A and B are shown apart, each in its own frame.
Chain A
Amino acid sequence: MLLIHCPYCEETLPEAEFAYAGEAHIDRPADPSALSDEEWRDYLFIRSNVKGPHFERWRHVHGCARFFNAVRDTVSDKFMTTYKAGDPRPDLTAEEAAQ
């Protein structure tokens, strides 16, 4: 079981308190009707499926209930960092160096 740091609670807590919520930084289009079928398909279904650092969303569902973002290495299944929803993608050079 992973330990996950909630950026709102500022606590590192067991995975059982959290729920995964898909890839991060995919904004819902402001005006979906303006999108072509292909663009809307991409928004709905197309995900990066990376091998390596993956930007993803988690929810501290059995805690503060906030959604937040994380970077997890899909190879090692280790969290590199977590940050608040709405914050920009973190610069990973420091984390990668640490790993």
Chain B
Amino acid sequence: MTRFRVEGKGRVEHAEPVNFTFDGRTYTGLRGDTVASALLANGVHLIGRSFKYHRPRGTVTAGSEEPNALISTSRGKGRYEPNTRATVQELREGLVAESQNRWPSLNFDIGAVNDKAYMLFSAGFYYKTFMWPKSFWNKVYEPIIRAAAGLGVSPGEEDPDRYSSRYLHTDILVIGAGPAGIAAAKSAAQSGARVTLVDENREIGGALLSDPRVKIDDIGAWDWLSAQLVELEELGVRLMMHTTAIGYYHQNMVGLCEKLTDHLDELPEGAPRERLWRVRAGQVVLAQGALEKPLVFDGNDRPGVMLAGSAQTYLNRYGVRVGDEAVVVTSHDSAWYGAFDLADAGTEITAIVDTRDTPRADLAREAERRGIRLFAGHTVTGTAGRLRVKSVRVNPVRDGRVGAAVTVRCDCLLMCGGWTPSLHLFSHTKGSLKWDESQNAYLPDHRSEACHIAGAGRGLWSFEAALNDGDVAGRAAAEAAGFEISDHARFAVAQDRPGTGVTHKELPTDRDAGKARAFIDFQNDVTAKDIRLAVREGMRSIEHVKRYTTNGMATDQGKMSNINGLMIAADALGEAPPRVGLTTFRPPYTPTTFGAFAGYHRGATFELTRRTTIDSWAEEHGAVFEPVAQWRRAWYFPKVGESMDAAVLRECTATRNSVGIFDASTLGKIEVAGPDAAEFMNRMYTNPWTKLAPGRTRYGLLLGEDGFIRDDGVIGRITDDLFHVTTTTGGAARVLNMMEDYLQTEWPDLTVWLTSMTEHWAVVALNGPNARKVLEPLVEGLDISHDAFPHMSVADCKVSGLPARLFRLSFTGELGFEINVPARHGPTLWKALMEAGAAHDICPYGTEAMHVLRAEKGYIIVGQDTDGTVTPEDAGLNWAIGKKKPDFVGKRSLARPDLVMPGRKQLVGLITENGAKLEEGAQIVLDPNQPKPMKMVGHVTSSYRSAALGHPIAMALIEGGRDLMGDIVHVPLPGVTHRARITDTNFYDPEGARLQV
């Protein structure tokens, strides 16, 4: 039995020890413990070092709002998590926990020098201390701050766990399974509604778990809870424990994160670690309770100083006394009850310090009965102790004056500054809050979603009030969801312990307030002094104060610090708190793993992968793949031991010398059909289409209305009223969307149908001087001789017995055909062509060779040689514009002043003098000796080695490039500046003779 465990007390299994390690030392806790409760049972308060000042810190809460007790946890390779809240992490056998942000050890930490230099780190220190000289920022200050300040260390290995995600539809979602939530779920379910009840804890009960003496309808609190579990099940309520509502989104969509394995000793085979639920609820009941506030005084962050309500929770729920000698300091009645429970369990309550002059008489009597010394109308002004509090200074306050201190010995200091309704999720919905002067708290006001708030969230502090309020909220939700409701169940609670209190700014002190280390935000190390400094320096809005001081910006989002920060800022500004305002809470409510958000979207299922029907052939033949949009495409086909460069040069050479075969199935394909198809094409594309005869094709250029190139592709006219449009692989969906947009909304007068055919056709490209020799024997019903089927023709026929649409076109500069067959026939066609081509050493080539071959011809790739700011004129494609057409998409913009301005970047070729291959994206300058920063006149868009030319080639966008033909430009790269000559982009066979064979 550990030193601070109370035999038989709490909801832990006293007969079931659980072993774990903390910083290498083995400890024993009990089943049902959290890491924090188990460490406290062993007398361990010191658990970490603070973010900025490296001050020793201990557990301060017993819940998910914990700012201090952050640990790293691990369970084998890859299963490491930093910044786990020890107050939430349930104990499991063999759990390995480590403290964070300390070096070399938790007890002795070098970084604690920051604490001595705290004046440097005051509010706005990021903006002020390190302003000069500017160049020091990246090299000196930033690394030092990063090294010195921080929380846990990021995981270094891939996470082996799975994370899942699901949707859920429910009539009523109740968030929080405390008394209000339980009552709401029950009364809602009694109406017949489908009800879901979620809670981040391992069991229902909320605050009742910390107060077993309460009797509900004459039944002890914990027996009552057991009965509720049965009733909830009988009512068909879906109960989800270990489940945190992390965000409340539009139209009652609530995100839930369910933790499935972190609490288990053994990982079930294949079980996901967490599950993200997207819940669409008809009505939502928020029953999230309230969070206790700390008091703000010098040394309120010393290990051993914690919230009084949390000490009560550790005692009653976990059977752990947080110390032997406790002092309680409070401004609220609730802390007195915790003190009495601890006293009854054997902890000596040395003193209760109440900031109020006249505590409630019944409480004072109870204290007196237990022999507890009472300091009413007192303040605390400091604590002492290096790694654990050992005493506290207590001073009387009379008429605002602080009298002489007495020092009271203690090993823990339990504080309570009142309670804050937990309205984070309500705040996510932009529901408005209203300041309640009597409670010194924000309470829910105007709702923007179909939600109901019950219990402590509405400022109701007794169990009886919470239960009855929950019942009302559940029935209201059921009624709003269209269900018939029953009568109000009235709960009667005995031994209830309601209370009231006051809210303070920082407590008054007899010492220099400017030197007080009185913390508001424990996680970000923000003190009361910082808030006042921010106001002095001109911050007026609470949003500015927040950002200047970082108050409330840590991972706990200021759950404990928000109202204290507001009270102090309001005081400093001389304004009432509601006039200063409240910062906005954002999802997620508590830190959530990236895994939960990513869900199934990782590894092979990160994004869907589209494969052509020929993909498996490529895979069997050793293709290396590259992603292109969502497709995976064969990049090149290396032979055993062959490098990429060698493979690509070989594929290019084979295609230019004999014949190459290429899977072009990913090309976007859209059928434009209907009596007005030609008119539609005239309006969409720059080119004229009226006179294009059926059976002929044309290069089509598509602009945005702004005049910049959006897409291109060869377009064939199949019949008078049917066009076969091809688009870039990545642009297919965009182009169809754009066409639909104009057709549906601008030109509804046109009778045209648009159909995506991308996945209906498999497309094989045959290119090279021997392409016809390979294809001709397989074609039926079509003469494909040069005269009968010239360049830029299209016809339907049969190829290898398959129904086919055959294009004669070329993206390589060689004699070329593109054979479209129904997608399912793709592999058959491919194999037939491979077989027929064997006599000509047919060579499969991938996208890289395709890029090289087209670049040798100066054919652009939209999105590589253009970037959304390139006009047809810039790209040298003015020939593709139908000059006589009155209008087409983008035409008017081509006359805009900026688009006709001289000096625009133009697409040109580049050849280096030293034969080096340039980097794509490299910047280009005219004078390499000019001072830095140099004037950059353009950049390299495409660059390849060229087998056909015997030297590398590049394309580049260069200001006024076409006027600089033959000039030398310079391409500075790390370590070397290349000289390159501006050339035409058509490097190979500029007359196009190879196409006409």
Contact = CB atoms under 8 A, between A and B. Distances in A.
A37 B897 contact: yes
Contact of B893 (A21, A44, A57): A44
Closest 7 CB pairs between A and B?
A32-B892, A28-B746, A67-B744, A3-B251, A2-B250, A85-B745, A67-B745
A86 interface: yes
B585 interface: no
A1 B896 contact: no
Given A2-B250, A32-B891, A61-B737, A86 B448 contact: no
Contacts of A65: 740
B740 A40 contact: no
A17 interface: no
A42 B897 CA distance: 14
Interface in B742-783: 742, 744-746, 748
Interface in A2-42: 2-3, 19, 21, 27-28, 31-33, 35, 37, 40-41
A37 B896 contact: yes
Contacts of A32: 887, 891-892
Nearest to A45: B706
A95 interface: no
Nearest to B892: A32
A37 B900 CA distance: 12
Contact of B745 (A19, A41, A57): A57
Given A32-B891, A32-B892, A76-B448, A44 B705 contact: yes
Interface in A37-92: 37, 40-41, 44, 57, 59, 61, 65-67, 76-78, 85-86
Interface string B705-718: 11000000000000
Contacts of B448: 76
Contacts of B251: 1-3
Given A1-B250, A31-B887, A40 B745 contact: no
Most chain B CB within a 10 A radius of its CB, from A32, A33, A78: A32
B253 interface: yes
Contacts of A19: 737
Given A32-B891, A40-B892, A65-B740, A76 B897 contact: no
Contacts of A35: 892
Nearest to A1: B253
A78 B250 contact: yes
Nearest to A78: B250
30 contacts: A1-B250, A1-B253, A1-B278, A2-B250, A2-B251, A3-B250, A28-B705, A28-B742, A28-B746, A32-B887, A32-B892, A33-B887, A33-B891, A33-B892, A35-B892, A37-B896, A37-B897, A40-B892, A40-B893, A40-B896, A59-B740, A59-B741, A65-B740, A67-B740, A67-B741, A67-B745, A77-B250, A78-B250, A85-B744, A86-B745
B887 A76 contact: no
Contacts of B430: 76
Contacts, number: 54
Nearest to B743: A67
Interface residues of A, number: 26
Given A40-B893, A67-B744, A86-B745, 11 more contacts: A1-B249, A2-B251, A3-B251, A28-B746, A31-B886, A33-B886, A44-B706, A57-B745, A59-B737, A61-B737, A76-B430
A19 B741 CA distance: 12
A66 B892 contact: no
Contacts of B896: 37, 40-41
Interface in B892-937: 892-893, 896-897
A65 B745 CA distance: 12
A19 B736 CA distance: 14
Interface size grouping (class) on chain B? 20 to 34
Contacts of B706: 44
Nearest to B251: A3
B740 A86 contact: no
Interface in B715-741: 737, 740-741
Nearest to A40: B892
A35 B452 CA distance: 55
Interface string B245-285: 00001110100000000000000000000000010000000
Nearest to B252: A3
A85 B746 CA distance: 10
Contacts of B705: 28, 44
Nearest to B744: A67
Contacts of B740: 59, 65, 67
B250 A66 contact: no
A80 B486 CA distance: 34
- B742, B745, B893, B896: most-surrounded residue (chain A CB, <10 A): B745
Contacts of B887: 31-33
A25 to B, nearest CB: 10
A52 to B, nearest CB: 15
A76 B430 CA distance: 8
Nearest to A12: B251
Contacts of B250: 1-3, 77-78
A34 to B, nearest CB: 9
Contacts of A61: 737
Contacts of A57: 745
Contacts of A1: 249-251, 253, 278
A21 B744 CA distance: 13
B759 to A, nearest CB: 16
A86 B745 CA distance: 7
Nearest to B891: A32
A37 B278 CA distance: 49
Contacts of A76: 430, 448
A48 to B, nearest CB: 18
Nearest to B255: A1
A88 to B, nearest CB: 14
Interface string B854-896: 0000000000000000000000000000000011000111001
- The CB with the most chain A CB atoms within 10 A, among B746, B891, B892, B896, is that of B892
A28 B897 CA distance: 20
Contacts of B748: 85-86
Nearest to B430: A76
A27 B742 CA distance: 11
Contacts of B745: 57, 67, 85-86
A85 B887 CA distance: 23
A85 B251 CA distance: 25
A15 B291 CA distance: 35
A2 B897 CA distance: 41
Contacts of A2: 250-251
Contact of A21 (B278, B741, B746): B741
B37 to A, nearest CB: 38
A37 B894 CA distance: 11
A37 B898 CA distance: 10
A32 B706 CA distance: 12
A49 to B, nearest CB: 19
Nearest to B448: A76
Contacts of B741: 21, 59, 67
Contacts of B891: 32-33
B682 to A, nearest CB: 14
Nearest to B707: A44
A9 B744 CA distance: 16
Contacts of A33: 886-887, 891-892
Nearest to A35: B892
A40 B893 CA distance: 8
Given A2-B250, A44-B705, A76-B448, A66 B744 contact: yes
Contacts of A44: 705-706, 893
Contacts of A66: 744
Contacts of A77: 250
Nearest to A32: B892
Contacts of B744: 66-67, 85
Nearest to B167: A14
Contacts of A59: 737, 740-741
A35 B896 CA distance: 11
A66 B741 CA distance: 9
Contacts of A37: 896-897
